[in-house]
Amino acid sequence: MFIKIYDNFFTKKECNELIALHEKWKYLVVPFYNVFPLKIKKIISKKYSNRINKKAKEINNSIIDYIEVVLWPTGSYKDLHFDNFKSSTTLSSVCFLNDNYEGGHLYFKDKSVITPKTGRMIFFDGNYFEHGVSKITEKTRYQLTAFYKNEKN
């Protein structure tokens, strides 16, 4: 099993464009626990989805099944969990779209912590690695979250 980290997967400008999608389409957001995800599979630019799919194919022959931009307001967090999105999920990813907030670190049960950095993309098996997000204590965190399936499904 693996956790793969790619710094500068997206530029700051691209991250801001993805955040702007959340602002533009926020009326479609359905709150989930203490966060605000926007499903973007049908509105994400091909330049983003092609780059993501290319990397996911290299990692384990996966492609995007579900993708969203998630707004995490001050006070939000996520306890340790497995993704369990679908039984067919083969990969998960998180990309930090900003880093001008306090808290909001991605952490794993083994005590590993990944510090937010704009454009940093993390691919991992979310059904294998139990993970969470530390409490956001100041400002707003945005992330791009995706779940993947085998390319043939």
Q: Would you list the DSSP string of 64-93?
A: EEEEEEEEE-TT--EEEE-----TTEEEEE
Residues 143, 92: Cα–Cα separation, whole Å: 13
Task: Write out the chain's pLDDT in tens, 153 residues.
Answer: 789 999 999 999 999 999 999 999 999 999 999 999 999 988 888 989 999 999 999 999 999 999 999 999 999 999 999 997 788 899 999 999 999 999 999 999 999 999 999 999 999 999 999 999 999 999 999 999 999 999 776
Cα angle 82-66-26, degrees, rounded to a multiple of 5: 105
For residue 115, give the amino acid letter. T
Q: Token pair for residue 34?
A: 């203490």
| pTM above threshold 0.85 | yes
- Name the H helices within 7-81: 12-24, 46-60
The domains located in the chain, with CATH, are: 3-150 (2.60.120.620)
Please name the residues in contact with 49: beta carbons below 8 A apart, sequence gap of 6 or more.
41, 64, 67
DSSP designation for 134: P
Amino acid type, 9: F
- The H or E element that residue 62 is part of is strand 62-72
